[in-house]
Amino acid sequence: MSLSSTQTPSCVTPDAHWLSEQQWLSLSADGIQLQLDLSAGLVTLAHFGRQTVIDPAQHRLMSGAATPQASLDILPPNTLFNDAGQGFAGHPAVMGDRAGHHWLTDMRLREDESDRNSAVACSTDNHGAHARLTLIDRLSELEVVLSLTLTLEGVLRQQTILTNHGSAAYRLEWLAACCLPLPVRFEECMSFGGRWVQEFTETRHTLSEGAFTLENRRGRSSHQRVPSLIVGTEGFSEQRGEVISTHLAWSGNHRLLVERQFDGSTQLQMGALLLPGEQALAPGESLTTPEVVMAWSDNGINEASQRMHRTLRARLDWPTEDKPRPVHVNTWEALYFDHDAARLDELVTAAGDVGAERFVLDDGWFVGRDGERAALGDWYLDKAKYPDGLGPLIDAVHAQGMEFGLWVEPEMVNPDSDLYRAHPDWILGIEGRDQPLGRYQCVLDLTRTDVADYLFARLDALLSEYPIKYLKWDMNRDLTHAATQSGERIGMPAAHAQVEALYELLARLRQAHPTVEIESCASGGARTDHGILRHTHRVWTSDCNDPHERTHIQRGASRFLPPELLGAHIGPQHAHTTSRRTSLAFRASTALFGHLGLELDVSQLDQNERTALRVWIERYKTLRGLLHAGVSWRLDCLDPHQHAHGVVSADGRQALFSISQLAMPRHALPAPQPLAGLTPEMHYRLELVELPEHPERRMKQLPAWIQAQLDGQTITVSGEYLLRDGLALPVLDPDQTILIQLSAVEM
């Protein structure tokens, strides 16, 4: 296998080319190419990387490997669908049986007498280059279709479809959505996990013989196991090394696997994790896996992230195209459950005063909801709190120039609720087994038609009665006893079907109310994946608004999601989740690089604080066109306590960079910081947007370019210099940031 780093011209138009006589398939788009050797009925990866020219016969001759002693006479190949029929001793791409039989498979490309090429279909359209490869095993009577798309942005998307052609049911244990051979030179892997208020924590792993496996059994994509891996050469970083970034577009249980055999052959598998007995294919029945998204780069993680950002942006279905991401005010940390009319009125007025554009009423608005222990499921307005309905509040919101949004948590129910008392069998559970509560709530069984219909009816009624433009869709607990209590599958696992039913409910709601935007929130960032973003418009990145923690969280999330999808709010000076105190400048400059909002009681700020906040909001409005359409860059820093990142416009003429110090500097004087993404031939005017107060506490003298600007000079420097030598930095205290804006100038 070869992952070439040879620079060749980009393929502007997607191309799918099938050489039937040579049994060779090539997909190309945006300078990236996937080449597959389909000889011997197998799907072998010959090349995934920059576009290049490979002669099939020469490749087969030069890549034919030796066979070591004390092994099978012919080593089993490492393919895009590894199974045990040829002696492959690693983790199979499919696992299952029919009453203990047909557990061994040997999938080969289908060959019909009338058409030996019927197994291969390829095409191109305005979404990319496509291929469908059909494999069969006649003894087990199973068929597998590998669906491959190389998108316009050079991202590889894959799904696997399994069909049971036998006369008896096939009990499925595992089906890989992708099975990707990796080169031996890939020595490291980066995974992402964490916990509540500390999402997207990265961990590096050294790859060695054996299997590195991460499994998630929490029913949602979860804080603890983000369905993403980055594999690459030793020491890969944001700007260096060869990597493949992978992401499973699925919001439920999953398995991520990297396995290296004794001969060095390495595979990566990703897919939905199935509970025992969860999937059985009846005769003639098919199953399609979630999609895996893969991006290759030989310039570090950045290029892979940028391709992922572009392909996700191209697929998003916005209610209103080109609408700027409005500034939120969310009421949770300002009010919690205290929905006092006078307090709400003060908050609405203050929100409008500082320039907010969307007002989101959080938890506590529905009947019986005075705390977290009761009323979930009873989605009727609390007339005691809102005797005249939501109309007066919405009118006040509109009068301040804002649109109105509402918090809901439709998937959950409190045992202390009218809904649960009427329908205790509507929850996921197993008769005779007590299950632990999570946030004092159970999970409704969305696979039941009556449950889905009830939830749709209640949400549809709210969205039809009131001009609600935004739903904050929350989900505050893991799934445990995830079994249905009705129908033919009573007592059987339903975790996988629950996610599919959620997608169906969201799609149904979107179809009925196409102008409503939906946010995916799950105790913060426990459901931040490409799968949920096929049905929603942003994710709540974390319940933690402390910018110190947020810097890490947003950096991790940005590897797979563009900034405009990451809810990033300015919280209070005293963070509710960490008790850390930070300046407004640090909080605002961190939130700037996402979809900005406010998670604090604006009405309690004094005039000076409101004025400062108003300046930051206006700054966001000025910059969001750049931030939400530009190219994101994360920079490598010599100081491990320093974080630097920025966004550069597609034409390279505008940029904004942030450099933050999160702990005491490594050295007394920070190293110069090279930038990225700029055009070497251009010259840029530098503007220091934010410099922390009282720098004299840390420095006798500022860097010369900063002092010159403070003295009124215009600083212009070439892109080549900024890329090569970078900026001399000031000495910053922990939890401080500088912001630098760059604009191209004619020389």
pLDDT of residue 117: 60
Q: Residue 467, exposed/middle/buried by CB under 10 A (0-12, 13-18, 19+)?
A: middle
Annotated catalytic residue, options 529, 543, 601, 735:
543
pLDDT of residue 8: 36
Spatial CB neighbours of 607, under 8 Å, sequence gap ≥ 6: none
Would you list the DSSP string of 82-131?
A: --GGGT--S--SEEEEBTTBS-----EE--BTTBTTTTEEEEEETTEEEE
pLDDT of residue 635: 98
406's enclosing H/E stretch is strand 403-408
347 φ, ψ (degrees, to nearest 5): -70, -40
486 φ, ψ (degrees, to nearest 5): -150, 165
Instruction: Could you list the beta-strand ranges (E) of 583-636.
Output: 595-598, 631-635
Largest Cα–Cα separation, the chain: 83
d(CA 41, CA 23): 9
73 annotated as ligand-binding: no
Instruction: Reduce the DSSP state of residue 335 to 3 states and report it.
Output: helix
pLDDT of residue 4: 33
Contact 30, 11 (CB under 8 A): yes
685 annotated as ligand-binding: no
Contact 655, 681 (CB under 8 A): no
476 annotated as ligand-binding: yes
439 annotated as ligand-binding: yes
d(CA 661, CA 691): 12
Stretches where the chain sits below pLDDT 50 are: 1-10, 113-114
pLDDT of residue 5: 32
Q: Residue 689, exposed/middle/buried by CB under 10 A (0-12, 13-18, 19+)?
A: middle
Which residue do the tokens 């038609």 mark? 449
User: Count of H helices and E strands in the chain?
Assistant: 13, 38
469 annotated as ligand-binding: no
363 annotated as ligand-binding: yes
Annotated catalytic residue, options 83, 378, 445, 474:
474
418 a catalytic residue: no
Which residue do the tokens 């739903």 mark? 471
492 annotated as ligand-binding: no
CA dihedral sign of residues 527, 528, 531, 537: positive
453 a catalytic residue: no
pLDDT of residue 6: 30
Structure token pair of residue 333: 């940390």
pLDDT of residue 659: 98
Contact 569, 577 (CB under 8 A): no
Contact 705, 716 (CB under 8 A): no
pTM for the full model? Answer: 0.96
Please report the domains of the chain, with CATH numbers, ordered by start residue.
85-315 (2.70.98.60), 328-630 (3.20.20.70), 633-745 (2.60.40.1180)
196 annotated as ligand-binding: yes
Q: Residue 433, exposed/middle/buried by CB under 10 A (0-12, 13-18, 19+)?
A: exposed
pLDDT of residue 228: 98
